[in-house]
Amino acid sequence: MSGLDKLFAGMRSTSTGLSAERVRMDVIAENIANARTTKTAQGGPYRRQLVKFEPMVQKAANGQMLTVGLKRAEVVQDFATPFDQVFDETHPHRDDNNMVAMPNVSATREMADLVSAMRAYEANLAAQENFTRMAERALQMAR
**What range does the domain containing 79 cover?**
3-142
What's the pLDDT score for residue 121?
93
Domain count for the chain:
1
User: Is residue 109 very low, low, confident or very high in pLDDT (cuts 50, 70, 90)?
Assistant: very high
Burial class of residue 46 (count of CB atoms within 10 Å of its CB; 0-12, 13-18, 19+): buried
What's the pLDDT score for residue 24?
93
101 and 83 Cβ atoms separated by less than 8 Å: yes
What's the pLDDT score for residue 56?
76
pLDDT tens digits, residue range 2-47?
A: 566 666 777 788 888 888 899 999 999 999 999 999 999 999 999 9
- What integer is the mean pLDDT of 65-91? 87
What's the pLDDT score for residue 14?
83
User: Is residue 142 very low, low, confident or very high in pLDDT (cuts 50, 70, 90)?
Assistant: confident
